[in-house]
Structure 1
Amino acid sequence: MELGRFSWWVMLVLVQLCINGCFGCLEQEKIALLRLKASFNDPVGYSLPSWNSANQESECCDWEGVKCNITTGRVIQLALNNTGYRTRRDFLYVNASLFLPFEELNYLDLSTNGIQGCIPNEGFEKFSRLSKLEVLYLDYNFFNNSILSYVSGITSLKKLYLRRNALNGSIHIQEFEKFSNLEELYLRENENMDFITLEGSKSLTKLKVLGLSKNNFDARILESSAAIPSLKILNIAGNNLEGSVTTKALRRLNNLEQLYLDRSSINRSILHKAGVMTSLNVLTMSDCGLNGSLPAQGHIPIELCQIVNLMFIELSNNNLFGSIPSCFNSSGIKHVHLKKNRLSGPISSAFQNCYSLVTLNLRDNYLIGNIPDWIGNLSSLSILRLKANLLEGRIPIQLCLLHSLSMLDLSYNNFFGPIPHCLSDITFEAANQKSDLGGLFYYEYSVEKPLDYLETQIGNMRDTSFYSAFPLYFSAFPLVDAKQEVEFTTKSRTYSYAGDILNYMSGIDLSCNKLAGEIPPELGSLGNIHALNLSHNNLTGPIPTTFSNLKEIESLDLSYNNLNGRIPPQLIELTYLAAFRVAYNNLSGPTPDRKAQFGTFDERSYVGNSLLCGPPLHNSCTKTEPPFTMPVNHRGEEGGGFIDIDVFYISFVVAYIMMLLGIVVVLYINPHWRQAWFNFIEECIDTCYCFVLIHCRKLSNFRLV
C-alpha cells in the first residue's frame, strides 16, 4: 500500500515537472536575453533576429543560440558568437552582470565579437557567481593577459578557450591557481613567449588538454609542460621550438598520449628522444624542416620503435632520407604518413605485420623495387598511396586481397604489364575507418553546441553533395590542424579529403606508368568507385562497355593510351560523371550523344583521335565521299588493274638488285655478321647434304629389296 502511494507521488512530481517544462523559459530570463541583445549593439542590426520582444508568445528557448533544460525550462547554453561585423575601431565592451540571471548556465560562447573588455565595475569577475558554468569560449576577440585574472574566479570552469586574442609575453601557471577543475585550456594564435610552470605546483592538476599552437614558444615549453603530470594532449604546433630538450623532461610526460609539433622549427634531437614517451599514440611532426640524416646511419630513428602504443605517425615533408627501419613493425599502428621526403630503397618489411594498418602514405619519395607480396596480409588497409616513387614491376595480384581498400594510388611509377582483372574483387565501398581514428583525436567542441547554432555555422552540409565542388567538411572542429587528410587526383586536379568526405571517397589512380594490354572488362563491376585514372600508359583495345555500370563514377580519365574502337554509347548512363577524358588515343566513330553529363564535355575530352567525329569535334560524321572511279589507261580503255604491268616488272627487278647489294654491303662492312652469314650458309649446305644422302640411301635400299 505504501509502495503504491509512493509511486503515485513520483508520477505526480514527474507530471508537474513535465508541465513546467512545457511552459518554456522563465519570464525573467526572457527579459535578460532581450537586454543582452540590446547590449551587443550590432552595427549592422541583423544579429539575433529571432530574439523578438514584439511577439509576446515567442518562446525564447527556440531563439537562435539558446538552449534550455527540457525539464525546468532554464537557459543552460548561450551561443552568442559573431553577433555582428566589427573592426578594430569598433570594439565591444560587455556588461557581465547581464548574464547573472542565468543561474543554470553551463555553456557560454562569446567568440568572434570584437570584445576588448568589460564596462567599468561590470567585468568578468562577476562570472564567479555562475556556479555551474563549465565551458567558456572567448576566441577571436581582443582580450589581453588580464582576462585570466578576471575569469579565475569561475571555479566550476572545465574548458577555457582564448584563441586568437591579444595575450602576449609570459604566462605563469600561478595565474590558473584557482582553476581547480580546469581540464582543457586553449591559447592558440596569441603572442605568448613563455609558459612558466613550477615543479610540484598545485595549479592545473586536472588539466588534460593544452593547446598552445601558433605562438612564439621555444623548446622550453616542453620542459614547462612536463610539470603538469595530468597532461594527455599537447599541441604546440606552429612554434619556434629551437633549443635542446632533456630526456628527463620528456620522460616526465609519461601520461602524454598525443603530441603535435607540426610546422615548427625544432631540434632534430627531439625525434630521437621521443621514444621515452612510451604512452604516445599520436605523434605529428610534418613540415618541421628535419633536413638530412637523423641518426648516424641516415634512417628514421629506431628510437621511435620504442613507442609501443603508437597508432598515428605523421613525418611528412621533412626531407628525411634513408630507409624505413625494419623495427617499425607495430601490430597496433593504424595510420602512417611519410610523404614528401627522400626515403629510398625498397619497401622493407617494416609494415609486414601491421595488420591494423588503415593508411599507408609513402608518396613522393625515392622508393625502388616491387610492391612486396606481403601487402596482401594488411587486411585493414583502406588507403594505399605510393605515388611518385621509382617502383617497378607488375602490379601484384595480392592487392586484390585488400577487401577494405578504397583509395589506391600507384601513379607516376614504372609499373608495367597488364592491369590485374581481380581488382574488381575490391568493393571500394564507403568506410568510416579512414577518418574514424578510434578516439585518437580530441575534438575541441566536445560539448555539444546548440543545434541551431551548428546549422547556422555549417549548414546542412551532410545533405549537400560534395561531388561537385569538393568542399572540406569535418564532423567536428578539431583541436589541431593535424588530422587524417589524404590528397587524391581526380577531375584533373588534386583535392584534399578529410572527415566525412574521406569516408565516402574511393578511387584508383594508375596513371603515368608503363601498363600495357587491354583494360579488364571486370573493372566495370566497381559500382562504388568515384574516380578511375588510367591515363598516360600503353593500354590497347577498346573501352569496355561494362564501364556503363560505374554508376557512382565522377571522374574517368583514359587519355594518352593506344585505345581503339568506338566510345561505348552506353556511357551516357553515367549521370554523376563530371570529368571525362579519352584524348590522344586511336578511337574512331562518333562521339557519345550530347545528353546529360556528356553535354558538358568540350573538345578537350576527345582531342587527338583523328578518326573520331561528331560534336563537340569540328569534323562531322555525315560527310559524303566522292564516287569511286576505275583508273583509265592512256588509250581511253578501262585497265584490268591499278598498276601497269611493265612498271611492276621494272620495280621488282630494281628492288631485288637493291636488296642484294644491301646484303653484300652489310656483310662487307660488319665482319661479325659476315661470319654469322657464312656459318648459316654452311649449316644450310650441311643440312641439305645430309638430307640428300639419307634419302638416296633409303631409295637404293628400296630398289635392292
Structure 2
Amino acid sequence: MEYYYRLTLLSFWVFIILCNHNKCFGCLEKERIALLELKNSREWDPISSYDPLSTWDDKKEFDCCVWERVGCNNTTRQVIQLTLYRAFRSDIGYLNASLFLPFEELQYLDLSDNRLTDLEGLDRLSKLKKLHFLDLEGNHFNNSILPSLGTLTSLKTLNLSGTDICKGSLTQGNISLLAKLVIVDWKSSSKLKVLYLGYNNFSRGIPPSIFTLNSLQALSLVGSYLNGPISYGLCELKNLRDLDLSKNEFEGILPPCFNNLTSLKAVDLRGNQVYIPSSLISNLKSLEFIALSGNQFDGGLPFTSPLKSLSSQLKFLDMSNCNLNMSTTDLLKFLHNQYDLRYLDISHNNLHGSFPNWLVENNTRLETLVLRNNSLSGNIQLGLVVTLLNYFDISNNHIQGNLQTDIGVVLPQLLYLNLSKNSIEGTLPTSLANMKYLNYLDLSKNSIEGTLPTSLSNLKELDTLDFSNNRFFGGIPESWFLNLKFLISLKLSYNSLSGRIFPGLFNLTSLRVLRLSNNQFIGNLGRIPSNIWIFDISQNQMTDRIPSIDIGKLDYLRTLILRNNSFHGPIPLELCNKSSLEFLDLSNNHLSGIIPSCLNLTSLKYLHLQENKFSGSIPKAILQSSNLITLDLKHNNLSGNISKWFGFLRNLRVLLLKGNRLSGSIPLQLCQLKNISLLDLSHNNLSGSIPPCFGNINFGKIVPGEDVFEKNADVGTGYNHFEYTDLLQMTGMEYMYVDWIYSEEEEVEFMTKSMSGAYKGDILNFLSGIDLSCNQFTGQIPNDIGALTMIMALNLSNNQLTGPIPRTFSKLKHLESMDLSRNKLTGEIPSELTDINTLSVFNVSYNNLSGEVPYMKAQFSTFDENSYKGNPFLCGPPLQKPCKTITESTTVTLARWSASYGMDLISLFASFAASYIMTLAGFVLVLYINPYWRHIWFNFIDTCLSFMFPFWSEAIYKVDNP
C-alpha cells in the first residue's frame, strides 16, 4: 500500500513539474510578456472603445488566454489567434510586424481597420509557418506590400479589402506575386483558397493574373468600381465555390461558361445590371445562395423554367428590385420544387395575384420572407403548419380582409412583422399575443378598427409598435405601460383615440419616439417621458400651458410638435436650454407674450410658431441659429423692423413673416440669404423700394447634394437573422428599422397660383417664390428680378409700385404665377412675356397700363378679362374695348410712342394741363384778394394795349386796303 501511495505522490509531482514547464495553468510566459509589450507599445491605442484593455494586465489575470482578443490552443496553451481590429492609434501610420514573432503557433491574425500605411517587417512573418489567416482590411497599404505578402507561404485566407493596393488596378507584376503564394493546407499542399479584394479601385478591370489562382475557392470583389461585361476569365477558376461581385457596375449577359463552375455554391451579383440566362443553373447542382437584387430583367425571369435542377437545396434567393412583373401563378411554377428555402426576398417587383400562402406552407424552415412593395391581393391565410419564420414583410401591397384569428399560433417565432400600407380591416386577433419574441410590429396605414387590445401587453420584447393611420378608438390600455418595458417607438397617430393620456405612459424609460397626433385626446399634457427624443401630440384637443418643468428635463429632445391644440400662455423659458432640439412646432395654438430672447437653439433646423398671438419684435437669439432652414412666424402680432441679423441665417431656405405688423424697409442684409427659396413678407406695413440685390439670391437653384427637405431620416440599419457562411461570409439583405433618431417631414404653407397650399417633403426642394403683397412698397420693380430664372411664384400685388413691367421678366422660364395687380404700373405689357410657357396665373389688374393686350400668343390666350381689368388704356381681347388704328386714335399712337421711349405722354399732357389750370387759378385768386396788385396788373394791361394799338390799326388797314 505504501508503494502505491509513493507512486501516486511521485506521479503528482511529475505532473506539477511538467505542467509548470508547459504552463498548463496559463499561457506561455514569453507570449504573455510579448502581449504586454504589444499593449505597452506606443503604437497601441489606449482609448480604443473596441478593446477592454483591463484584461491585458498581469496584475489582474495571470493567464493571457482568457484576455480579450486572444485565443489559445486548449492543450499547449500557446496563442493561436489575435484579433486586433481597430486596436492601434490612427495617427501612427505604421506597425512593426516583428511584435508578432514570439507567437510561434499563430494561425489567425486580424489587423483590420487600423488605418496603417506600412507594416514594417511583414516578410518576417514567414517564420510563422502555421499562419493561414491574415486580415488587413480597411488599412491604407499600396501595392508595395505585395512582395512581402509573397513570402507568407502558409496563408490560406487573405483579406485586402479596402486597402487601396491597386490605385486604379493591380499591375501584372504585383498580382503575379499573389498567384505564387503557396500555402500549406492541413492535409496537403495547395494554393490560395480565399481572397478578399473588395472595396478597392479596379476601374480598369479585373487583373487577368487573378484567373491563374487555380485553387481559389472564394473570391470577393465587392464594391470595386468594376464595369462592363463580366470577364470570361472567371470561368478558369474551376474550384470556385463562393463568388461575390456585388455593388459594381457590371452589365450585359453572364458568360455561359459559368455553367462549368460546377462547385459554385454561392453567387452574389446584387447591385449590377447583369442579365442572367436560364443556362446559369442548368449544371450548377450545388447552388445554395443566389443574390441578384438590383439587376433589371425588364419583366423577364432569369430562370425560364422551375428551379428543378437545384434539387430543392436552394437556401437563399434575393431577387428584389429586378422588375420581374409576374403573377403568383408563375411564381408557383418558378419555385415549385423548392422546399428548403431559408431566405426569400422578391420585393419591389410588381408581383400581382393572390398572396402565395403555399410558399410559407411548403418551406417550413423559411426564416425570412420579404414581399413588400408589390401588387399582391387577397387574404393571408396560412395553414396550421407552425413555421420558423422570424422576419415577415409584406408591406405596401393590396392585401385585404381580416387577419386570420390564429396568426399568432402559426407564426410564433416572429421577430419582425410588417403588414403596413395594405387594406386589412376588422379587429386585431388576440392570438397576436402568442408572438412572445416579437420586437417589431407595424400595421400602419390599414383599415383596422376596434379598441387597442390589452393582450398586446404580453409582447414583453416589443420595442417598436406602429398602429398609425387606422380606425382604432377608445383609450390606450393601462397594461401597456406596465409590461412593455422595452418599448422604444410607439406610433398611434391618425386614429380616433380619445380620453386623457394615462400618466403611466411617461414611465416607459426606454421610450424614444411617441407619436399621438391627429386623435381626440383631451386634458393637459401632464408629464413627458424624460428620455424622449421625438414627441408629437399635434392635432388633438389638449389645453392648459406647456409644462415648463418637464420640458426642462428633456435632455435628448430632438423633435417637439404640439401644433393644432389649445395650449395657451408663454413659451417656457426651459426651451432655451435645449441644444439638441432640431424641430420645434408650436403653431396654431393660443400662445402669447413675447418670443423668449434666450431662444438660441444651436441645432435647430425647423421652427414653426405661426398662427399664435406672439407680440414684440423677433429676438436676435433666433437669428443666430445658424443651422436654421425654416423660420415660420406668420400670422402673429409681431412688430418692429426686419432686423439686419437675418443675414446670419446662411442656411435658411424658407422665411415666412406674413400677416404681422412689421414696418420699415427691407434690409440689404436679407440679400445675404443666398440659399433661400421661399420668401413671404406679405400683409405687413413694410415700405421703401424692393432691393435690386434680390436678383443675387438662388430662389430655386438647387445645389447638388443639398436636398434638405427630403424626408430627413437618420434611421438604424442592420441585417436580418439569416447569414450564409461557406468560405465567404454573405449576409442577408439590408433593411431599415426603427426611425427613432430623427425622421420629420417638413411642411410649409405658401401662396401660389392665387391659392394657399401646404407643401411638404421633397417637393420643397423644387418650390420657389417671393410674396411681397399687401405692403406699401414704392418705386419701380428692379430689372434684377429677371435674374431669378428658377423662381415659380412672384406676387407684388397691393403696393404702390410705379414704372413699367420689366422686360427682363421674360427670362423667368419656370414662372407659374405672376401677380402685379393693384399698383401704379404704366406702359405696355411687354410682348416678351409671351415666351414664358409655364405661366398659368397672370394678373396685372388695376394699374395704369396701356396698349394692346398680347392675348393671342402662347399662354396668354388662357387668361380672361379679370387679369387686365382696371386699366382704362388697355384694349383688345379678352377686354371688351377694341384697339383703334393709328389714324383713328391719337391716344393709342401716343401710348405706343410713350412705351417706345419709356414714358407715358398721355399722363404727361394731363399733368401739364392740370398744372396750367392750377397756376392760372392761383394767379386770379391773388388778384382778387389783393386790390393793390390788381390795380398794378390792370394798369400794366392798359399800357400794353396802348402800346400795341398803333400796330394793330396799321395791320388792319393794310388787310382791308390791299
Same fold (TM over 0.5): yes
- Aligned counterparts, 1:483-494, within 5 A: 483-494=745-756
SS in 1 for 2:778: strand
Greater shift in the superposed pair: 315-324 or 505-514: 315-324
- Aligned counterparts, 1:109-120, within 5 A: 109=395, 113-118=399-404
Q: Which amino acid aligns with 1:235?
A: R
Q: Which residue of 2 aligns with 1:175?
A: 456
Q: Which residue of 2 aligns with 1:141?
A: 424
Q: Which residue of 1 aligns with 2:829?
A: 567
Structure 1 436/305 Cα, relative in aligned 2: closer, same or farther at 3 Å?
farther
- Aligned counterparts, 1:424-435, within 5 A: 424-428=695-699, 429-430=701-702, 432=706, 434-435=708-709
SS in 2 for 1:395: coil
Number of aligned residues: 571
CA shift at 1:177, angstroms? 3.4
Q: Which amino acid aligns with 1:153?
A: M
CA shift at 1:213, angstroms? 5.0
Greater shift in the superposed pair: 610-619 or 75-84: 75-84
Q: Which amino acid aligns with 1:175?
A: L
1-structure distance, mates of 2:420, 2:458: 20
2-structure distance, mates of 1:305, 1:527: 40
Q: Does residue 700 of structure 2 align to residue 416 of structure 1?
A: no
SS in 2 for 1:347: coil
CA shift at 1:115, angstroms? 2.2
Q: Does residue 290 of structure 2 align to residue 10 of structure 1?
A: no
Q: Which residue of 2 aligns with 1:300?
A: 571
SS in 1 for 2:749: strand
1-structure distance, mates of 2:886, 2:531: 82
Q: Which amino acid aligns with 2:925?
A: M
CA shift at 1:54, angstroms? 11
Q: Which amino acid aligns with 1:559?
A: S
CA shift at 1:226, angstroms? 2.6
Match of 1:659 among 925, 930, 933: 925
2-structure distance, mates of 1:499, 1:478: 18
CA shift at 1:551, angstroms? 1.6
Structure 1 409/325 Cα, relative in aligned 2: closer, same or farther at 3 Å?
same
Match of 1:224 among 501, 504, 507: 504
Query: What do residues 414-450 of structure 1 show as CA deviations (whole Å, max 9, x unaligned)?
Result: 111110111111111236455246537x79x9999xx
2-structure distance, mates of 1:357, 1:616: 46
Query: What do residues 171-210 of structure 1 show as CA deviations (whole Å, max 9, x unaligned)?
Result: 44x73434525434335541131332477x6645253344
Q: Which amino acid aligns with 1:487?
A: E
Q: Which amino acid aligns with 1:142?
A: E
Larger Rg: 2
1-structure distance, mates of 2:919, 2:350: 101
SS in 2 for 1:620: coil
Kept in 2, the 8 Å contact 1:24–1:73? The answer is no
Q: Does residue 238 of structure 2 align to residue 238 of structure 1?
A: no
Q: Which amino acid aligns with 1:544?
A: P
Match of 1:395 among 643, 648, 666: 666
Structure 1 136/99 Cα, relative in aligned 2: closer, same or farther at 3 Å?
farther
CA shift at 1:144, angstroms? 2.7
Query: What do residues 378-406 of structure 1 show as CA deviations (whole Å, max 9, x unaligned)?
Result: 11111110101111111111100111111
Kept in 2, the 8 Å contact 1:553–1:577? The answer is yes
Q: Which residue of 2 aligns with 1:671?
A: none
Q: Which residue of 1 aligns with 2:177?
A: none
Query: What do residues 129-165 of structure 1 show as CA deviations (whole Å, max 9, x unaligned)?
Result: 5x575434386533435x2533632625523325665
- Aligned counterparts, 1:330-349, within 5 A: 330-349=601-620
Match of 1:64 among 343, 351, 355: 351
Q: Does residue 627 of structure 2 align to residue 376 of structure 1?
A: no
Structure 1 74/600 Cα, relative in aligned 2: closer, same or farther at 3 Å?
farther
Greater shift in the superposed pair: 608-617 or 134-143: 134-143
Q: Which residue of 2 aligns with 1:257?
A: 533
1-structure distance, mates of 2:411, 2:433: 7
Q: Does residue 628 of structure 2 align to residue 352 of structure 1?
A: no
Structure 1 436/150 Cα, relative in aligned 2: closer, same or farther at 3 Å?
closer
- Aligned counterparts, 1:436-447, within 5 A: 436=710, 438-439=712-713
Structure 1 561/220 Cα, relative in aligned 2: closer, same or farther at 3 Å?
closer
CA shift at 1:63, angstroms? 5.5
2-structure distance, mates of 1:311, 1:503: 19
Structure 1 599/530 Cα, relative in aligned 2: closer, same or farther at 3 Å?
same
Q: Which residue of 1 aligns with 2:473?
A: 191
Greater shift in the superposed pair: 607-616 or 409-418: 607-616
Structure 1 230/187 Cα, relative in aligned 2: closer, same or farther at 3 Å?
same
Query: What do residues 484-522 of structure 1 show as CA deviations (whole Å, max 9, x unaligned)?
Result: 111111111112111121110011000111111001111
1-structure distance, mates of 2:387, 2:456: 28
Q: Which residue of 1 aligns with 2:371?
A: 78
2-structure distance, mates of 1:359, 1:54: 48
Kept in 2, the 8 Å contact 1:25–1:75? The answer is no
Consecutive unaligned residues in structure 1, runs of 5 or more: 29-47, 85-91, 449-475, 629-650, 666-705
Structure 1 134/175 Cα, relative in aligned 2: closer, same or farther at 3 Å?
closer
1-structure distance, mates of 2:853, 2:708: 38
CA shift at 1:214, angstroms? 3.1
Q: Which residue of 2 aligns with 1:589?
A: 851
SS in 2 for 1:548: helix
2-structure distance, mates of 1:123, 1:198: 21
1-structure distance, mates of 2:588, 2:784: 37
Kept in 1, the 8 Å contact 2:387–2:411? The answer is no
Q: Which residue of 2 aligns with 1:266?
A: 542
Kept in 1, the 8 Å contact 2:306–2:333? The answer is no
Q: Does residue 412 of structure 2 align to residue 128 of structure 1?
A: yes
* Greater strand fraction, Structure 1 or Structure 2: 2
Q: Which residue of 2 aligns with 1:526?
A: 788
2-structure distance, mates of 1:540, 1:446: 62
TM-score, normalised to structure 1's length?
0.71
Structure 1 332/652 Cα, relative in aligned 2: closer, same or farther at 3 Å?
closer
Q: Does residue 501 of structure 2 align to residue 214 of structure 1?
A: no
Consecutive unaligned residues in structure 2, runs of 5 or more: 1-181, 184-189, 195-215, 220-239, 243-263, 268-280, 282-286, 291-301, 309-324, 337-344, 360-364, 721-737, 891-916, 932-962
CA shift at 1:239, angstroms? 3.8
Kept in 2, the 8 Å contact 1:77–1:108? The answer is yes
TM-score, normalised to structure 2's length?
0.53
Structure 1 266/275 Cα, relative in aligned 2: closer, same or farther at 3 Å?
farther
Structure 1 657/176 Cα, relative in aligned 2: closer, same or farther at 3 Å?
closer
2-structure distance, mates of 1:446, 1:421: 52
- Identity among equivalent positions (%) equals 30
Kept in 2, the 8 Å contact 1:358–1:433? The answer is no
Structure 1 187/360 Cα, relative in aligned 2: closer, same or farther at 3 Å?
closer
SS in 2 for 1:599: helix
Q: Which amino acid aligns with 1:259?
A: F
1-structure distance, mates of 2:371, 2:919: 101
Kept in 2, the 8 Å contact 1:284–1:482? The answer is no
Structure 1 391/101 Cα, relative in aligned 2: closer, same or farther at 3 Å?
same
CA shift at 1:363, angstroms? 0.6
**CA RMSD in angstroms, aligned pairs only:** 4.3
1-structure distance, mates of 2:773, 2:615: 22
Greater shift in the superposed pair: 351-360 or 593-602: 593-602
CA shift at 1:227, angstroms? 3.2
CA shift at 1:334, angstroms? 1.2
CA shift at 1:52, angstroms? 4.0
Q: Which residue of 1 aligns with 2:117?
A: none
1-structure distance, mates of 2:599, 2:440: 38
Kept in 2, the 8 Å contact 1:177–1:204? The answer is no
SS in 2 for 1:367: strand
2-structure distance, mates of 1:150, 1:282: 31
